[in-house]
Chain A
C-alpha cells in the first residue's frame, strides 16, 4: 500500500518544479501571456526539468520516467503558470498515439522531431460516427505543427502537415500562441486499426495530460482563493469565515483532493502497464476538470469584482481549466469512451465479486 508515497526522485522533481514555478513562472505569467510566449530562459529550465522527454520511452528517445512523473511535473509547473506549457511540450498529448502506433520507425521519427523541438505533434480526436472531416481546432503555435494523429473510434491515422497553422485566438494558453488546421489535403503517413482498449489508451494519455495541468491550475486557484478570502473582511469577518463560503471551499478541497488521487492512480496504472489505464485516465480527466472548473469559478466568485479583472490571476485560471475541459475531443467523446469500456473494466480491488443476490 505504497502508491500514495511518491518515489524519492519524483518528490525531488516535484519540489524543484514547485520552487521554480513559484519563483520564476508565476511572477511572469501575465507578461508571457502578452508576449505570447514564455521567455527563452524559462523554456530552458522547463526543458532541463525533462518536460519534453519524461514520459516518452527510451526506445523513442525519451527518458522513460513514466506517466506519473509527467503528471507530477505538469501539476507543479501549472501551479505557477500553465500558459506556456502546451508550447513547451511538443509531443505532450500524443504520447499515447506514439506508444500505440504500430509503425515503430514512423513513431520514432515523430518523437525525435518533437524531442529536438523542431516539430510538434497534435492529437485530433474525432467522432467515430458520423465520420465528418477532422480538424485541429487549436494547437500551440510553436514549434511548427508537422504531425497530426487522428484518433477516430478504433482507427488511428498519422498525417503530415505542410502548411503553417492559421493563427487563432483561443480561450486561454495565450503564452503558447495558437492556430488551427484542416486535415483536408494533408499527406497521410499511415493508417492503423487498434483495439478499443488501445484507442482509449491513446485518448486517455492525452486526457491525463490535460487533467494534470488542470489539477495544478486548480490547486493554485484554491490556494490563492484561501489567501484572499482569509484576508479580505466583509460584514465583520473574513470572506472565508462566512459559513456559506467556508462550506463551498471545503467541498471544493475534497473534490480536488479526490481528483488528484484518481489522476495519479491512473498514471501509475499506465506505468504498471494495466489494461484499463486509459479508462481510468479518462475518468480522472472528468474528475479533474469538474473539480477544477468548480474551484476556479469559486476563485473568481469569492474575489468578487476583483476576480473579473485581469489584474488578478483568478480569471486566467478560470479560462485555462475551462479550455482543458474541451480538449482531447471534449466531454461527450470521453463519455463515449467510458461507455464503450465500462462493461469490460473490472473493479480494481473486487474483480470478479459480481453476483448481487
Chain B
C-alpha cells in the first residue's frame, strides 16, 4: 500500500500508546456509565500538553495549507477510533468548528478563536452546531434565525447533535436570515460559551459512541457582535454561506470514514484472537471464520484506499467532492457488516458486553448518519455523476 515515513509511524505509535493506556479504558467506562469522560479528566490535559497530537487525531491543523497534513490526519483518525471512537471525538481541539473556521474565517477571527488552542496549560474545545430538531440531513432547512440589531446579531432557535458543545470555548452556530432565502440566507456565527441566552438543554443519552458529549442547545435572543459573523458580511455574497458549510464536510468526510475503518479493524482483531484461542486447528467452523475474516479485510482495505484516494486528491488541490462521498458512502455500511461478521465469528459469546464487540456494534451505527447519511452521499454522487436534480 503506502510506505509511511518515520514521522508518521512515530505519531501512530504515540496514538496507539495513548489509545491502549487511556482511550480504550475511558471508552469502556463511558459505555458503562453512559456519561462522557469529564472535561477535567487528566487525559485531556496530557493530550493538550503534547500539543499537536490532539489536532492530528481529530484532523485539525494549526492553520491552512502546508501545515494541514491530511494523510496523517486520516491515519491517526483510523488509529484513534481503533481504540475508542467516542473518546477520540472528545479530544480537545477546535473540532468541526475549526474546519468551518478554516473554510470561512477572516485572519482576525482565526487569530481570536484558534490562537487560544496554542495554550496547553488546559484543554480547549471548539464545536459546531448545524443540526436542528427539524433539520438534519437537509441542512438548507435550518430555522434558527439571525437578526441584525445595530452592530450586533441576535440568534434565536434550537440546535442539537453538537459534539463537545457543552465543554467548548465557543460554538460555530449556523443560522438563517430568512428560511425563505434557502441556502443564500445562511450565516455562521461564533458564539462564546456563557453568552446570555445560549442555554445547554441536555447532554443526549445514546445507544453507543458514549465517549463524547452530544449537546442540545436553546438560543434565546443570543447577542453576538458583528465581528463574530464568520468570514464577515462579504463572505456571504451569492451561495458562499452554504458552500462554506459544505466545504467543511468535504474536509471531514474521509476522516469520518477512516474512523469506521479503525472500528472495523478493532472488531477484526477481536475475532482473530477468538479464532486463535478457540479454533486453533482444522475444522469447519475455523474455515468459515477465516473466510469471514478475509471478507472483513477486503472491505476495510477497499474503504481505506477510497479514503486515501480522496485525501490524495485534496492534497493535490483537485476537486474531491465525488471521491469524498464515495468514502463516506462506502465505509460505514462495510464497517457495519465487518463488525456483524466479527460477531458471527464469535457467535453466542459475542452478546457479552465484556467481549467489546457488542459495544462496537452499537458504536458504529452513528457513522452512517453523522456528516451526511449514506442516503445524502448517494444524492451527492448522483448529482455529480449524472445531474440528479436538486430539490428532488
Chain A residues in the interface with B (C-beta under 8 A): 1, 3-4, 226, 229-230, 240-241, 243, 246-247, 249-251, 253-255, 257-259, 261-262, 265, 269, 280, 283, 286-287, 335, 338-340, 342-343, 345, 347-350, 353-357
Contact = CB atoms under 8 A, between A and B. Distances in A.
B382 A250 contact: yes
B356 A357 contact: yes
Given A240-B386, A261-B309, A343-B290, A353 B304 contact: no
15 contacts: A4-B309, A240-B386, A241-B388, A249-B382, A250-B382, A254-B325, A265-B1, A283-B294, A287-B302, A338-B291, A338-B294, A342-B290, A342-B294, A349-B4, A354-B269
A187 B312 CA distance: 52
Q: Which A-B residue pairs are the 9 nearest by beta carbons?
A: A338-B294, A339-B290, A348-B1, A250-B381, A250-B378, A261-B305, A246-B382, A258-B302, A356-B269
A349 B294 contact: no
Given A1-B315, A250-B377, A349 B293 contact: no
A347 B389 contact: no
B242 interface: no
A352 to B, nearest CB: 10
B308 A1 contact: yes
A253 B2 contact: no
Contacts of A246: 378-379, 382, 386, 388
B39 interface: no
Interface string B293-317: 1100110011111101100100100
Interface SS of chain A: helix, strand, loop or mixed?
Answer: helix
A91 to B, nearest CB: 28
A235 to B, nearest CB: 13
B7 to A, nearest CB: 14
A251 B330 CA distance: 8
A258 B75 CA distance: 18
A70 B49 CA distance: 51
B294 to A, nearest CB: 4
A247 B294 contact: no
Interface in B24-60: 24
B132 interface: no
B12 interface: yes
B388 A240 contact: yes
Interface size class of B (residues with CB under 8 A): 35 or more
A146 B302 CA distance: 38
A286 B299 CA distance: 11
B64 interface: no
B389 to A, nearest CB: 6
Contacts of A348: 1-2, 301
Contacts of A243: 392
Contacts of A280: 301
Contacts of A230: 386-387
A254 B326 contact: yes
A249, A258, A343 pick with most chain B CB within 10 angstroms: A258
B305 A258 contact: yes
B235 interface: no
Contact of B382 (A247, A258, A259): A247
B265 A350 contact: yes
Contacts of B386: 226, 229-230, 240, 246, 249
Contact of B272 (A247, A255, A259, A343): A343
B302 A261 contact: yes
A258 B306 contact: yes
A355 B272 CA distance: 10
B351 to A, nearest CB: 18
Nearest to B266: A356
Contacts of B20: 355
Contacts of B308: 1, 4
A338 B303 CA distance: 18
Main secondary structure of the interface of B (DSSP, over half): helix
A215 to B, nearest CB: 13
Contacts of B392: 241, 243
A339 B305 contact: no
Contact of B326 (A249, A257, A350): A257
A247 B306 contact: no
Given A249-B382, A261-B309, A286-B298, A356 B326 contact: no
A266 to B, nearest CB: 10
Contacts of A241: 387-389, 392
B329 A254 contact: yes
B87 interface: no
Contact of A342 (B293, B304, B326): B293
B82 interface: yes
Of A241, A261, A287, A340, which is in contact with the most chain B CB atoms at under 10 Å from its CB?
A261
A262 B334 CA distance: 15
B273 interface: yes
Contacts of A253: 326, 381, 385
A203 to B, nearest CB: 14
Contacts of B278: none
Nearest to A262: B302
B270 interface: yes
B375 interface: yes
Which of A251, A283, A345, A350: most chain B CB closer than 10 A? A350
B368 interface: no
Question: Which of B270, B276, B294, B389 lies at the interface centre, i.e. has the most chain A CB atoms within 10 A of its CB?
Answer: B294
A257 B325 CA distance: 12
B375 A261 contact: no
Contacts of A250: 329, 377-379, 381-382, 385
Interface string B258-297: 0000000110011011011000000000010011011001
A338 B301 CA distance: 14
A249 B287 CA distance: 34
B388 A1 contact: no
B352 to A, nearest CB: 14
Interface string B74-95: 0100110010000000000000
A203 B276 CA distance: 27
Contact of A339 (B276, B294, B326, B381): B294
Contacts of B71: 1
Count chain B CB atoms within 10 A of each CB in A241, A247, A254, A259 and give the residue with the most: A254
Contact of B291 (A287, A335, A349): A335
B16 interface: yes
B304 A249 contact: no
Nearest to B273: A356
Contacts of A356: 266, 269-270, 273, 356
